[in-house]
Each structure stands twice: as structure tokens, then as C-alpha cells.
Amino acid sequence: MKTLITDSPLEAAALLIAGKTVAFPTETVYGLGAAIDSPAAIAEVFKAKGRPQDNPLIVHISTPEELPRVASKLSPEAELLVSRFFPGPLTLVLPKSNEVPYAVTAGLDSVGVRCPAHPVAHEFLKCCHTPVAAPSANRSGRPSATSWEAVRNDLDGRIAAILKGSNSRIGLESTIVDCTGPNPVMLRAGAITLEELQEVIPAITPAGKTQKNEPLKSPGLKYPHYAPRATVVTHEQGKSPALTPDSAWIGLGVPPVGITIKKTCISLDEYAQELFSFFRHCDREAVQTIYCELPPEKGLGRAIRDRLNRAAGNH
Ligand code: AMP
Ligand code: MG
């Protein structure tokens, strides 16, 4: 299939309405969208990405007013989170409505819902006139795409279109909060930090390790993720790693001596924004090992640590 590259949200939306797959920019990472009422397009999303069938897709809406179409009920806590953080980089897991097919939720009775705060995403979703199921627009297991060129590298010829936008401002996937239980639980760290969530609902906790025989709260989190072809090795701040040849480094501090491909980030925001594009750059340069400095586990540092640990296969 020929992949059309366009900067027109209207043209991209027309393709989606016609049952095709369309990648689009958001403030977190690029998404690969399909209309929730198009089983063929949803199947194409799984096929194009090579995504395991039991990994549910997040449904995107253009405004919070569309929530009743996709969620059957909002708890008072969910209402609070919506009023504080929608639109924005937060996904809420809610009881699904009848309009959301099980093909989107991988058989679950809940649905992940997000309302992006990105002008092009908003315009595109508005023109679609339907909620849009969209995982990240990368081949499964690879780092998420934070530019339209990265989407093209992974998915050219496998999807109908790419809606061009600027590079993703945040660079890491949304924070996910499960609002289906008695207390909301943070399933995935992201740009909306645990501290910000707790300002609104003090009882929110991060998901603990799943016990043996207990069903997984977020099926997708069991798969390897965010991995470049190079081996990722993490180290704590101030603990310089022993280097191997053909290696690269990214972090906030001073790079180890003797490394040529390196990226010192001046803030956590920059670290998040640059991480996946640095991984992809290292792959193009045939780097063997990428050393990554772990930031402290607070604020946005929690999300960066999570992605680094997963890329390194540390958990
Ligand atoms: P991605 O869109 O590629 O960033 O992945 C979406 C993530 O959201 C995966 O880790 C899914 O497991 C998670 N997710 C989506 N829907 C649900 C749901 N209904 N319940 C729990 N987790 C979900
Ligand atoms: Mg993903």
C-alpha cells in the first residue's frame, strides 16, 4: 500500500472515515488511528504494528463532551481528573460503552480514553466525527515515534496515511490511570506526574507488582517496549559505567569520557522529549550499547525511569 503524507487534517480524516489507518501527531507521541466502528481498520492497526491481539487500544476523543459515547460511567474521582487534566496527556481507564467494540479493548469491559491537547490532533479528531482507536505509531516493541519521519521509517507502505505535524512536545506516552476500582491506580507514569494526580486525589497510588495468578491490570505492560536495536544499559546518577566499544550515552549529568555519540539534556523535559529520537539516531549509527543515566524517581523522572528500565529489560 502507498502511504500518503499530508498536512491536511481534513484529508487525513476523510481516509479514516473511509475505513483506513492514519497516523497523526499528538503532544505525547504519534498515534496510529482507526475508526472504532471499522473492524477492518482496527485489524489493520494490529497488523501494521505487529501488535499482540491481547493489547488493548486507547480511544481518542476530540473534546471531553464526547466521553459519554465511549464510557458508560464516570466515578466522582474520574470526573475530577477529567475536569483537571482533559484535554492533556492523561488516559483514563473507564467502564466501556456499547459503542466501543471488544476488538478495541482486547475483550476487556473497560476502555482507555484520552483527549489530546494538540491543535492538529484536535482538528483531525473533530473532522473524524467518531472516536478514534490509536496505539503509538511504531512497530511493536520499538521506541514510540516522536516525529512524522520516525512514523514513516517504521510504517511506510503498511498504513494509508501520515498526518504531518511538528515533533511531539512531550515525547513519552500518556500517563494511564485506572478508574474502574474503588481507588484510582496509576498504571503507567507519564507527563502528568503522580504528584500532580495526588494533588487532585490524594489516594492515587502507582500500580504494584501483579501477584501470580492475578489478571494483569494493563495487558500491554507485560510486553517488551521502547527498545532500540542497541543494548540499553542503565546507571544511577554519579555512577559512571564501564564503557564498551561503539557505545553512546544520554543523561542529565556529565557524559563518561571517551564517548562520541552523546546527549546531555538540560532538563527532565528535554530528556523525555529527546529519548526516543536519540534511540532511533543510535540505531542509524549502528551503536552497540546505549548507556542511560536514570533520573531521580519523582515528577517526570518517574516516567523516564520507567521507559529506560523497560528498554533495558530491567523489569
Ligand atoms: P500504547 O497506545 O501503545 O501506548 O499502549 C496503550 C497502553 O494502554 C497499553 O499498555 C495497554 O495495556 C493500556 N490500555 C489500553 N486500554 C486499557 C484498558 N482498558 N485497561 C488497562 N490498560 C489499557
Ligand atoms: Mg506503544
Other C-beta atoms closer than 10 Å to the C-beta of 172 total 26
**What pLDDT, on a 0 to 100 scale, did the predictor assign at position 257?**
87
Question: 173 C-alpha to center of ligand 2: Å?
Answer: 8
**What pLDDT, on a 0 to 100 scale, did the predictor assign at position 105?**
98
- Average pLDDT score over residue span 48-61: 96
- Average pLDDT score over residue span 1-12: 97
Residue given cell 496510529 in the structure block: 32
Please give the number of the atom of ligand 1 that sits closest to the Cα of 91. 8
- Rounded to a whole number, what is the largest CA-CA distance in the chain? 58
Q: Give per-residue pLDDT as tens, 71-123.
A: 999 999 999 999 999 999 999 999 999 999 999 999 999 999 999 999 999 99
Q: Could you give the percent of the chain with pLDDT greater than 70? A: 96
Q: Which of 33, 25, 23 is nearest to 118 (CA)?
A: 25
Cell of 219: 495487558
Q: Which of 56, 43, 41 is nearest to 102 (CA)?
A: 56
- Backbone φ and ψ for 131, nearest 5 degrees, come out as -60, 145
Say if pTM beats, i.e. exceeds, 0.85: yes
The CB-side HSE value for 180 (13 A sphere, CA atoms) comes to 18
d(CA 243, CA 290): 10
Q: Which residue minimizes the CA distance to atom 11 of ligand 1?
A: 220
Q: Is the pLDDT of residue 210 over 60?
A: no
Q: Which ligand is nearest to the CA of 106?
A: 1
d(CA 301, CA 294): 8
**What pLDDT, on a 0 to 100 scale, did the predictor assign at position 166?**
97
DSSP letter, residue 229: S
Q: Give per-residue pLDDT as tens, 60-74.
A: 999 999 999 999 999
**What pLDDT, on a 0 to 100 scale, did the predictor assign at position 211?**
52
User: 240 falls in which pLDDT band (50, 70, 90)?
Assistant: confident
4: left (phi over 0), alpha (psi -120 to 50) or beta: beta
Please give the number of the atom of ligand 1 that sits closest to the Cα of 217. 21
d(CA 3, CA 1): 6
Counting ligand 1 atoms within 8 A of each CB, the residue from 114, 187, 310 with the most, and so the one to mutate, is 187
Q: Determine the topology of domain 4-206 in CATH.
A: DHBP synthase (3.90.870)
**What pLDDT, on a 0 to 100 scale, did the predictor assign at position 212?**
54
Please give the number of the atom of ligand 1 that sits closest to the Cα of 173. 4
User: 216 falls in which pLDDT band (50, 70, 90)?
Assistant: low
Question: 10 C-alpha to center of ligand 1: Å?
Answer: 27
Every domain of the chain with CATH number 3.40.50.11030 lies at: 231-311
Q: Could you give the percent of the chain with pLDDT greater than 90? A: 87
Q: Which residue minimizes the CA distance to atom 19 of ligand 1?
A: 111
Q: Which of 143, 175, 142, 145 is nearest to 302 (CA)?
A: 175
Q: Which of 229, 178, 70, 177 is nearest to 134 (CA)?
A: 70
Average pLDDT, the chain: 95
Question: 187 C-alpha to center of ligand 1: Å?
Answer: 9
CATH of 231-311, one of 3.40.190.10, 2.160.20.10, 3.20.20.150, 3.40.50.11030: 3.40.50.11030
- Backbone φ and ψ for 292, nearest 5 degrees, come out as -130, 125
Q: How far is CA 257 from CA 247, 249, 262, in A?
A: 11, 10, 10
**What pLDDT, on a 0 to 100 scale, did the predictor assign at position 218?**
73
Q: Give per-residue pLDDT as tens, 247-262.
A: 999 999 889 888 989 9
Residue given cell 476523510 in the structure block: 14
Q: Which residue minimizes the CA distance to atom 2 of ligand 1?
A: 135
Q: Which ligand is nearest to the CA of 189?
A: 1
Other C-beta atoms closer than 10 Å to the C-beta of 101 total 15
d(CA 32, CA 46): 10
**What pLDDT, on a 0 to 100 scale, did the predictor assign at position 181?**
94
Please give the number of the atom of ligand 1 that sits closest to the Cα of 105. 19
What does the chain come to in residues?
315
Question: 144 C-alpha to center of ligand 2: Å?
Answer: 6
Q: Give all strands (DSSP E) within the chain, no chain letters.
A: 4-6, 22-24, 31-35, 59-60, 90-95, 110-114, 132-133, 161-163, 175-178, 185-188, 205-206, 231-236, 247-251, 261-264, 289-294
Q: Which residue minimizes the CA distance to atom 10 of ligand 1?
A: 220
- Average pLDDT score over residue span 164-178: 98
**What pLDDT, on a 0 to 100 scale, did the predictor assign at position 214?**
60
Q: Which residues line ligand 1 (CB under 6 A)?
A: 55-56, 58, 93, 105, 108, 110-112, 135-136, 173, 176, 187, 218-221
Every domain of the chain with CATH number 3.90.870.10 lies at: 4-206
Counting ligand 1 atoms within 8 A of each CB, the residue from 57, 73, 173 with the most, and so the one to mutate, is 57
Q: Is the pLDDT of residue 217 over 80?
A: no
Contact 190, 176 (CB under 8 A): yes
Q: Which ligand is nearest to the CA of 55?
A: 1
- Average pLDDT score over residue span 133-154: 97
